Structure 1
Amino acid sequence: MLRPRRHTDHDRLRYTGGALAHSLSASAWRESLEMRRADPTVAVAIRVGVATLIALIGGGLLGHPEVAGFAALGALSSAFLRYEPFPRLATKLAGVGLGVTAFTAFGAVLGAVGLTIWLQILLLSIAAGVSFWLLTAFRITGPGPVVLIFAAAGAAGFADSAADVRLAAAAAASGSVIGWIVAMLPALSHPQSPARVAVARALASVAALESQGSAGVTTARQNITRAREVIALGGDRRMRSHGHELLALLDAAEKTVDGGSHDTLSERRADFHRFEAELRKVRRDIDIPRSGTSVQGARRVSRTDKFFGFFGEGVQRLSDRVIVIGVARVVVASLLAGGIAAALGMAHPLWATMGAMATLQGANYRHTVQRAIQRLIGNALGAVLAVVLLVLDLGYWPLVVVIVVLQTVTEMVVTRNYALASVFVTAMALMLTGLGSSIGPDVAAGRVGDTLIGVVVGVIVAALTIQRGDRAHLTEVTRELPRSSRECATECARVS
C-alpha cells in the first residue's frame, strides 16, 4: 500500500528555490509590463486629484505648507474602495480616514519622543502588520496599508514636539474629511454607478468564458454574485427601476454560465459586450431594454446592514489563518528590510520597510513577484522624474500643481499597470516630502536603494513562506529555466 510522501525541510527548500527562480524568469518580467484592461478610471482620478488639490491649497493658505503633505495623504482616502456601493462606502471610507489620522499621530509621537531609528523600525513594522491585518480582514481595497505607513513614517521624521503631533494629526484629519466629501459627491447625481460597474464586470467575465476555461466560470459566478450584492446594498428609490433592469441582465448572464451551450454564449456575447459598454458610461440614459422576465436575486437589506453589515464579517476574518500568516510575513519582512537599510547607513530606512510591505500586498506569490518587479521599475523611473523636478527648484504653488497632476495620472493608470503607476507615485511621494523641507536629487537615489532592499526582502520572505497550494508560477518557470532549475521546479511541484 502506497503512503503519502512526507515533506522534509530539504523538499521545502527546493520548492522555495523554484519559487525564487520565478522572480528571475522572463515570464515574470513580461507579465509585469503588460497593460490590462481597466474599469472606468477618469472620474475616480479626477475626484482624487480634486481632493488632493483642496487639501494642498488649504495647507498653503493657512500658512502650514510643512504639514500640507499629511492633509494630501488624508485626501488620498478618496482613492480607496472605488467599487463599493455608496451606503457602505460612507462607513468604510470614514474608517480609512480615521486610520490615516491615527497612523499619522502614531508616527508623530514616535518622532516627538525621540526614539532611535531602530525602535522606530520595530514599532512601524508592527504597525505595518496591524494595518495589513485590519484592511485585509475588513476588505478595504485600494492603495493599501502602505499609505498608512507612509503617513506614519513621514510624521515620525517631521515631529519634534507635542505641538507638531497635534498639527500633523489635524492636517491628516482635515484631508480625510475632504477626501470623504469628494468621494461621496457622486452619490447625489449618480447613485447607480457602482451597481452599473459591477454588472459590467460580470457581463465582461461571462463574455470571456471561452478563453478562460474553468477558472473563468468561477470568476464569472463570483462577479455575478458580487454585482447582486452591490445592487442590493446600493438600493435607492431613484434607481429602483434601473436596478431591476440590471438584475435582469444578471439573470441572463447567470443562465449562460450555468446552463448555456456554446451556441448560446456565441449568440449573447455581442449583447453582453454592448450592454457592458453602455454600463461603463457615466450618463443615465442608457440603452438597456426592460425585461419581461421575473427578476431573480433581489433581496431586501436593512438600513443597518447597508452601512455596517461588513463589520461582523470583518471581525470574524481577523482570526483567519491565511490573514494571520500574512500579518506575520509583513511584520518580519518590514523589520528585516528596515534593519538592513539602517545597518547599511541608508538615510531613509523606513522606505525599505514600506517597499517590503507593498511587495507582500500581492494576492499570491506570482502577484507578489509581479508587484516587486513593478515597484522596482517604477521607483527607478520615478526617481529620475523626481530628480528633474527637484533640479527645477519649484516653489510651493508650482509643486502643488505637479503633485495634483502626478496623483491624478496615478489613479488613471494604476489598474492598468502598477509599474507605470509607481513611476508617478514615487515622484509624487518625493514631492510631498519636499513640501515641508528642501530636499536634493540624492534623496531620489536613496529612494531607489531603499526600494531595492525592500522588494528583495519581500520576495525572499514570500518564497520562504509560500503556500503549497500556490504553484501557478511553476508552469512557465519550468519551460524557461536551465535543466537543473527545471528539475528543481518540477520536483517542487510534485512535492506535497
Structure 2
Amino acid sequence: MPTLAAAPSRLRRTRGALAHPMSGAVWRRSLRVRSADATLAVSLRVGLAAAVVLVVFGVTGHGAIAGFALLGALSAAFSRHEPLRRTAQKVGLVGGAVVASVLVGGLVAVSGMPVEAQIGVVAVHAGAAAALLYAFRIGGPGPVILVFAASAAVGYAGSAAHLGVAVASAALGAAVGLGVAVLPFVFLPWGPARLATARALGALARVPDGGDVAAARSAVVTARQTLALTAGASARDHDLAAVLAEADAALDHWLTDGDDARLHAVVRHERELRKTKRHSALLAQGAVLGDLPQPVPFLAPGLGRLGAGDVRAYAGRVVLAAALAGWLAAGVGLDHPMWASMGAMAAMQGITYAGTVERGIQRLLGNVAGAAVAAGLIALTLGYWQTALLIVVLQTCTEVAAARNYGLCTVFVTPMALLIVGLGTAVGPEIGIGRVLVTVVGVAVGIVVAAVTLGATDRSHLAETV
C-alpha cells in the first residue's frame, strides 16, 4: 500500500514531468532529422500495396469504400527488412487486426450507442491494439492505424450490410498487403540477411574511431538471427555466416592486439552487401563458419507477453488517455472526437516519458503543417483518380520519412488520412482546422496522463527540466 510519504514524491515527479515539454532542448530534439538507410524499397512496397487496392476499387466503381481496403493494405508497412517468415507473421497479424478493428467499429455503429459510449469502447480497443503490437514487438506505424480503422467504421457502418462491406474490403486489402510484402522474397530471398550483415559491418567499421563495441556486437547478433530466420539450418553454409564469424574474430583480434588490419579486411564487404543482388561471393572457400542461433519464435513469446505487467500497464494508460481525450473533444463540441483519442494514443507510443513528449510535439507540429497541405488539396476538388495518386505518393513519402523524424512523417500522414476520409464522404478544407484542434486536445491529454502515471524509474525527462 502506498505510504503518505510517497504522495509528495509522486507529486514532485509529476510536476517535473509537466515542466519537461517547456524545455527548448526538447523542442530542438523533436525537430532533429535522423539518418536512415535502405528506406526506399520498403516505401515503394507499401506504396504499391496502396496503389493496387485503389486501382481495383476505382476500376470496379467502389471507390467510396476503398479506404477500408487501403487500411488493410497498409499492414505491409509493419515489417521492415525482416526475413520472409517474420514478415509474413507480422504483416499477417496486423492485417487480421485491421479487419478485427473494422468489425469492432462497425458493431459499435450498428449498436446505436451514444457517442460517449462509442468513445469508451474505441478507447478500450485502443488499449488492446497497443498491447497487441507491444507484446509482439511490432513496430511500423503503430496501433494508431488500428484505431483509425475502428473509428472509420464507426462513421460508415450504419447497417449490418454496410458492416459486411467494410469488413470484406479491409480483408481484401490485408490480403493485398501481405502479398505485396512477401513478393520481394521471390527475387531476393537473402535481402534482409545481406542488409543486416552490412549494418553489422558498418557498426564494426566505426569501432576503431570510437564506436560502441557493445552496439557492434549486438548488430552481429542481430545479423546472425536474421540469417537463421532466413533459411534455418541451411543458412550455416551461406557466405554470410562466414562473414559474421570473421567479423567477430576480427573484433576480438582488435580488442586484444589493437591491430585493425583484419577488421578493415572484413568491413570492406559492406558496400558489396548493400547492392541489390541475390548472392555475392565474399570469402574464399574453406572460411570458418560461425554457429547460428535457433530462430527466435514469434507467436508463443508474444502471447506470453500479453499478460506481462508492463504490457497491461501500458494498455491501461492508453485506454485512459484515449477515453479522456475523446470525451473532452466531444464535450467542447469538436467534430471527429475519436481523432483526439488517436492523437493521445499516438503520443503515448513513446517508450519513455521523454519519448511521449517528443512524439507529442512532433505530432502537433506535423499535423499543423499537414492540415495546411490537406486544406489546399481538398480545395482543388480533385476526382477519384487524382486523389488516389496523391494518396499513393503521400504514403510512399510517409514511409521514407518514418525512420527519420515522426513529425516529418506526420506532415505526409495528415493529408493522406484526410484524403482517405474524403473517398467515402464529401469534406471541405475546414476539416484541416478540425484535425489540428482535436490533435491539440489529444496530445495535451496524452502528455498529462503520461506525466500523472509516470513510473518512479522513468527519469528520462529530468535532464531538460533542471
> The TM-score by the shorter chain falls in which range?
over 0.9
| Pair 1:262–1:393, CA change in 2 (3 A) | farther
The answer for the alignment partner of 1:13 in structure 2 is 11
**1:405-450 deviations in Å (ceiling 9; x for gaps):** 1001111111111111100000100000000111011111110111
The answer for the alignment partner of 2:307 in structure 1 is 319
The answer for the alignment partner of 1:483 in structure 2 is none
| Pair 1:336–1:293, CA change in 2 (3 A) | same
1:207 CA drift (Å): 3.5
Cα distance in 1 for partners of 2:305, 2:395 equals 32
SS in 1 for 2:35: coil
Please, which of 229, 253, 257 is the counterpart of residue 233 of structure 1?
229
1:33 and 2:42 are equivalent in the alignment: no
Q: Are the equivalent residues in 2 in contact too, given 1:359–1:455 (CA < 8 A)? A: yes
The answer for the alignment partner of 2:135 in structure 1 is 137
The answer for the alignment partner of 1:467 in structure 2 is 455
1:415 and 2:403 are equivalent in the alignment: yes
1:91 CA drift (Å): 2.5
1:133 CA drift (Å): 0.8
The answer for the alignment partner of 1:106 in structure 2 is 104
Cα distance in 1 for partners of 2:299, 2:415 equals 36
Cα distance in 2 for partners of 1:212, 1:454 equals 42
The answer for the alignment partner of 1:400 in structure 2 is 388
The answer for the alignment partner of 1:245 in structure 2 is 239
SS in 2 for 1:235: helix
Cα distance in 2 for partners of 1:211, 1:26 equals 31
Please, which of 46, 66, 69 is the counterpart of residue 68 of structure 1?
66
The answer for the alignment partner of 2:113 in structure 1 is 115
Q: Are the equivalent residues in 2 in contact too, given 1:38–1:416 (CA < 8 A)? A: yes
| Pair 1:465–1:208, CA change in 2 (3 A) | farther
1:157 and 2:152 are equivalent in the alignment: no
SS in 1 for 2:430: helix
**1:204-253 deviations in Å (ceiling 9; x for gaps):** 3334447877xx4443333322221111111179x848x63222332344
- One-letter code aligned to 1:136: Y
Most deviating of 167-176 and 275-284: 275-284
**1:375-394 deviations in Å (ceiling 9; x for gaps):** 11111100000011011000
1:457 CA drift (Å): 1.2
1:281 and 2:275 are equivalent in the alignment: yes
Q: Are the equivalent residues in 2 in contact too, given 1:245–1:291 (CA < 8 A)? A: no
1:260 CA drift (Å): 3.7
**1:78-108 deviations in Å (ceiling 9; x for gaps):** 1111132102222332111111111111111
1:262 CA drift (Å): 8.8
Q: Are the equivalent residues in 1 in contact too, given 2:83–2:226 (CA < 8 A)? A: yes
| Pair 1:222–1:324, CA change in 2 (3 A) | farther
| Pair 1:211–1:96, CA change in 2 (3 A) | farther
The answer for the alignment partner of 1:203 in structure 2 is 201
The answer for the alignment partner of 2:418 in structure 1 is 430
The answer for the alignment partner of 1:176 in structure 2 is 174
The answer for the alignment partner of 2:82 in structure 1 is 84
1:194 CA drift (Å): 1.2
| Pair 1:258–1:359, CA change in 2 (3 A) | farther
SS in 2 for 1:441: coil
- Cα RMSD of the aligned pairs, angstroms, is 2.4
Cα distance in 1 for partners of 2:209, 2:114 equals 55
Q: Are the equivalent residues in 2 in contact too, given 1:51–1:76 (CA < 8 A)? A: yes
Cα distance in 2 for partners of 1:7, 1:389 equals 56
Q: Are the equivalent residues in 1 in contact too, given 2:72–2:98 (CA < 8 A)? A: yes
SS in 2 for 1:261: helix
Cα distance in 1 for partners of 2:268, 2:458 equals 36
1:349 CA drift (Å): 0.5
- One-letter code aligned to 1:104: V
| Pair 1:446–1:272, CA change in 2 (3 A) | farther
1:193 and 2:191 are equivalent in the alignment: yes
SS in 1 for 2:307: coil
Q: Are the equivalent residues in 2 in contact too, given 1:275–1:288 (CA < 8 A)? A: yes
The answer for the alignment partner of 1:349 in structure 2 is 337
1:292 CA drift (Å): 4.3
1:59 CA drift (Å): 1.4
- One-letter code aligned to 1:85: P
Q: Are the equivalent residues in 2 in contact too, given 1:378–1:422 (CA < 8 A)? A: yes
1:460 CA drift (Å): 1.5
Cα distance in 1 for partners of 2:17, 2:307 equals 27
1:335 and 2:323 are equivalent in the alignment: yes
1:270 CA drift (Å): 5.1
Q: Are the equivalent residues in 2 in contact too, given 1:396–1:435 (CA < 8 A)? A: yes
Cα distance in 2 for partners of 1:73, 1:436 equals 13
Cα distance in 2 for partners of 1:217, 1:366 equals 26
Cα distance in 1 for partners of 2:291, 2:213 equals 19
TM-score normalised over the length of structure 2: 0.93
SS in 1 for 2:109: helix
Cα distance in 1 for partners of 2:198, 2:16 equals 38
**Unaligned ranges ≥5, structure 2:** none
TM-score normalised over the length of structure 1: 0.87
The answer for the alignment partner of 2:219 in structure 1 is 223
The answer for the alignment partner of 2:126 in structure 1 is 128
Q: Are the equivalent residues in 2 in contact too, given 1:248–1:291 (CA < 8 A)? A: no
| Pair 1:297–1:6, CA change in 2 (3 A) | farther
Q: Are the equivalent residues in 1 in contact too, given 2:227–2:235 (CA < 8 A)? A: no
| Pair 1:207–1:455, CA change in 2 (3 A) | farther
